[in-house]
Amino acid sequence: MLHSFRSHNEVFGGAFLSSEGAGCYSDVYYDRAMKLHTDWSVGLSDILGNVMAHELGHLLLGSNSHSSAGIMRAHWRGEDLRSLSWGNLWFTNEQADHMREKLLAAVPERSIQMAASMRAAF
């Protein structure tokens, strides 16, 4: 199932999720980001970075992960584009906690121990 990000009736990316809400692939559409950059005078790198973060959010949060505010809003509005350009378009605290828990659960215990021993060596 493709979960896409839209703004002003444009799709800027898509995350490919199974019916269980799991996935590991997403796309970001450069040409559409370039058009938004041109039409709204928002930095292209800001647009691309935020669309990538939005799609990674889908991959980590699963299906039905759009929110009424922030980076996971399904349809970004003018105020969201302003926040995006100022670096202030965020995940909610709940979304950030969920993603953090999912990532930590995916790390094998041995990797955690190895990272801790490497930190101790420096």
What residues form DSSP beta bridges with 67? 73
Q: What is the mean pLDDT of the chain?
A: 86
In a 3-state reduction of DSSP, which class is residue 74? coil
Q: What is the pLDDT of residues 12-26, one digit of tens each?
A: 999 998 888 888 899
pTM comes to 0.80
pLDDT, residue 25, reads 92
